[in-house]
A and B are shown apart, each in its own frame.
Chain A
Amino acid sequence: MNNLVEIKELSFQRNSRVIFDGVNIQIPQHKITAIMGPSGTGKTTLLRLIGGQLQPASGQVTVAGENVHKLSRNGLYRLRKKMGMLFQEGGLFTHLSVFENVAFPLREHTRLSNDMIRTLVLIKLEMVGLRGARDLMPNELSGGMSRRVALARAIALDPELIMYDEPLSGQDPISMGVLVKLIRTLNDYLGLTSIIVSHDVTEVLSIADYVYAIAGGKVIGQGTPDALKADKSQQLRQFLDGLPDGPVPFHYPAEALNRDLMGDII
């Protein structure tokens, strides 16, 4: 089995705060790989590192055999045409209609005729079930709908890799179900490789083929969903079962409470 994305010994820090410390992740081709972890562990940062929007402190990221951070600007842009990314809020262009949003990458990167673009856009919109919404503006869409439009836009250029940044957060059960089904069917039907970054444990475990759990800048567990569910590691159990206290403390680091309240009068 080939790995489309390989991350080796990746380290990254932001303002002297260490976000990743020697992370190794392999993303197998044609599979859905989930990267899970508590909020604030830099899951979105990881996707930006894969997309080449951020530079790592050390380590390397290889996508389709090319080292992302060694590429020239043009090389990076060429590689990005093979990637689609679905941002947390969708990132739709608010001044363009749904149709134009999906047509945007086609207009930018191809010399197709207007008829061809129309056909392609309608096919993509049909895949996400929003062909009827083509003339709406992004501010007229619900959160779930705008994510589906963004998904149609992300697959407009038929990428090999698609990255989802928190695709399910803040969705009602129905649109969550719709999105989960879409991610699965698009992956199988279009032969994509998917990376999902999320903390919605149950939904993600139900569709992922392979799961990485990260916390504190390190990979704390990996394996198939079933293997992970059976894992006994404390950190993993706290995250997967949603326990309020454990290795990740309930309290933000602070000095002892009585000292804080009473001051130095002891």
Chain B
Amino acid sequence: MLSQRTIESFVGLFLLMTIIALSVLAFKVSGLTSFFQPIGYNVSAEFDEIGQLKVRSPVKIGGVVVGEVSSISLDPVSFKAIVKMHIDSNYKEIPNDSSAGILTAGLLGDNYIAINPMYSQSFLKNGDTLTDTHSAMILEKLIGQMIYKLENGGKNSDKSDKGDADSSHSKDINHEKN
């Protein structure tokens, strides 16, 4: 028979272990951030098409994560997707004429936002909007357009076929960017 004091200490230890385990699960396993938002500032951008972009998708510059998507909503008038991003305060000096694009990590990976910095001397601050945006590329659309071009260009010789498809491909991308 243990004394009540010993039992209390053991239960306290048990509780402590639980708290440690829970914080491991929260911060090391699930990367919980919603309890306390890291210090930083918010920027938004409008996209025609966001693909598989989700809340908490990373925001990268040159492949380095600088922030994450904090919310996604739809503009009821223009039917564009409004994406709000939270940028870490370590990266304060991002030129305000930078462009934002939605890219895919690898062939089947998740979407992320890539910010492409430009040369302006004034920097993004809280509440700014990125105007120059490039939508997500939807694989099905690309394939569909490629097949359409291939069929139209099917009369051409085999030799020019590949080049033709390639050029129409890049043209489509340009088109979508606008």
Direct contact of A and B (CB under 8 A): yes
Residues of A within 8 A of B (CB): 95-97
Complex CA gap A97/B1 in Å reads 9
- Distance from A36 Cβ to chain B, minimum over Cβ atoms (Å): 40
Bound Cα distance from A95 to B4, whole angstroms: 13
Mask: chain B, 1-14; 1 = CB below 8 Å from A; 0 = not: 10000000000000
Interface of A is mostly: loop
Set of chain B residues within 8 Å of A95, measured between Cβ atoms: 1
A95 to B1, CA, bound (A): 7
Distance (whole angstroms) from the CB of B4 to the closest CB of chain A: 12
Write the nearest CB–CB distance from A117 to chain B, whole angstroms. 16
Minimum distance in angstroms from B33 CB to a CB of chain A = 48
Classify the secondary structure of B's interface with A. loop
Q: Which 3 A-B pairs have the closest CB atoms?
A: A95-B1, A97-B1, A96-B1
Residues of chain B within 8 A of A97, CB atoms compared? 1
Q: What are 3 A-B contacts defined by CB distance under 8 Å? A: A95-B1, A96-B1, A97-B1
**Nearest chain B CB to A55's CB is how many angstroms away?**
37
Chain A residues, CB < 8 A from B1: 95-97
Contacts of A96 in B (CB 8 A): 1
Question: B151: shortest Cβ distance to chain A, in Å?
Answer: 85
Closest to B1 in A: A95
Residues B1-54 near A (CB distance < 8 A): 1
CB distance from B106 to the nearest CB of A (A): 62
Chain B residue at smallest Cβ distance from A100: B1
Min CB–CB distance B42 → chain A (angstroms): 60
A96 to B1, CA, bound (A): 8
B118 CB → nearest A CB, Å: 76
CB distance from B7 to the nearest CB of A (A): 12
Identity of the chain B residue whose Cβ is nearest the Cβ of A137 in the assembled complex: B1
Q: Chain A's nearest CB lies how many Å from the CB of B100? A: 68
| Cα distance, A97 to B2, chains bound together (Å) | 12
Report how far A142 CA is from B1 CA in the complex, Å: 21
The 0/1 profile, CB within 8 Å of A marked 1, for residues 101-128 of chain B is 0000000000000000000000000000
Nearest Cβ on chain B to A35's Cβ, whole angstroms: 38
Q: How far is the CB of B3 from chain A (nearest CB, A)?
A: 12
B1 to chain A, nearest CB (A): 7
User: How many whole Å from B81's CB to the nearest CB in chain A?
Assistant: 64
**Closest residue to A95 on the B side, CB-wise?**
B1
Q: How far is the CB of B32 from chain A (nearest CB, A)?
A: 42
- Interchain nearest-CB distance for B23 vs A (Å): 36
A198 to B164, CA, bound (A): 110
Inter-chain CA distance A231–B86, complex, in Å, is 101
A97 to chain B: closest residue by CB: B1
Q: B142-170: contact bitstring with A at CB < 8 Å (1 yes, 0 no)?
A: 00000000000000000000000000000
User: Measured between alpha carbons, how far is A91 from B1 in the docked complex, in Å?
Assistant: 19
| A95 vs B7: C-alpha distance when bound (angstroms) | 15
